[in-house]
Amino acid sequence: MEAAVGNVIERGDKVLSVVSGLFGRRFAEIARRRGAEVHEMKFPLGSSADPSKIKEELESGEYKALTVVHCETSTGALNPIEEIAKACRDEGVISIVDGITSVGGIDVRTEEWGIDLLVVGSQKCLAAPPGLAMLSVSERAWECIENRKEELPDYYLDLLRNKGYMVDRLSPRRTPFTPGVPALLGLYEALKLIEEEGLENRFERHRIIGEGMRESIKAIGLELFPEEGAYSNTLTSFKVPEGIEDKELRGRMKEKYGVIVAGGLEELTGKIVRIGHMGISAVPQNVFATVSALECALHEMGFKLELGSGMSALEDVFLRNNL
């Protein structure tokens, strides 16, 4: 994220940061620390950003770049990246997208949608060991980087230096610095597994798992946090019901049933529970274990539910979709 922002942005540049959660704010802070004049365009937590409002704002200001998170995992909501990237292209603005928790689990068409810089992490939907970040750079973004007025203050994060070693050379291609070879080998194996499964099959698996998790949550009697239609297929969040203590619920699930789920962050601390289902974790056996643990823990804490209601809803989705 810092490399994407830092190579494009220079001190005084105007940046529009789409903020619908913690990670959108983080993007804005990175740009601000680079000396950018940042305007945060805020949308309610749990909602998707409105591309028409973004386009309207881009038309009104002389923005150089826009930052946006595709899957805002602090809320479980998904932003319409295709439409946002188009608005950026129409206005000559560089789009910088965090695809860390979407690429590999949700269809992201980088070139077709015209995304200028797309950030990906190894540890989420790609299901490789943590420690690697990947960055896709469009021709338009390269031109922007090459025409910087000021010298880039970074050495390690200098994308032109990396491009010179890894792209421009025909032979031998190599990294400018010593790479983390074990992490790269882990990524290679993870990508082979993705190729064997097939991208469309992988996207469909995440879709079914996401639908199953949402339907089971609703069947238990819990309320999903994101707005209708804003759901991500890689993470599900729900509101902590009245009378239930978030830490105790998650603690019971972990200590008694061996299932770890995440709580809310910052202003959502104690208010929502977040369940990630990405990569190799997005499989029926893991989701069955999670829903069962959730039902049992809630029942033990006095929440009124029909035991097995979530599991039944989950089975229905899986059987209907032949998973």
- Residue ranges of the chain whose pLDDT lies below 50: none
* Enclosing H/E stretch for 271: none
Q: And the tokens for 23?
A: 């990670």
Number of residues that this document lists for the chain: 323
The span from the CA of 323 to the CA of 78, in Å, is: 23
Return residue ranges of the chain for CATH 3.90.1150.10.
198-320
The span from the CA of 217 to the CA of 19, in Å, is: 26
Q: Which fold has domain 198-320?
A: Aspartate Aminotransferase, domain 1 (3.90.1150)
* Enclosing H/E stretch for 291: helix 284-300
Q: Can you tell me which residue has the tokens 């620390």? A: 33
Secondary structure (3-state) at 76? coil
- For the stretch 65-98, pLDDT in tens is 999 999 999 999 999 999 999 999 999 999 999 9
Return residue ranges of the chain for CATH 3.40.640.10.
2-121+133-179
pLDDT for the residue 243: 96
- For the stretch 165-212, pLDDT in tens is 888 776 677 888 898 999 999 999 999 999 999 999 999 999 999 999
The span from the CA of 308 to the CA of 179, in Å, is: 49
pTM of the entire predicted model: 0.94
Q: Which fold has domain 2-121+133-179?
A: Aspartate Aminotransferase; domain 2 (3.40.640)
Exposure string of 2-24, with b = 16+ CB inside 10 Å and e = fewer, is ebbbbbbbbeebbbbbbbbbbbb
Q: Which residues contact 322 (CB under 8 A, 6 or more apart)?
A: none
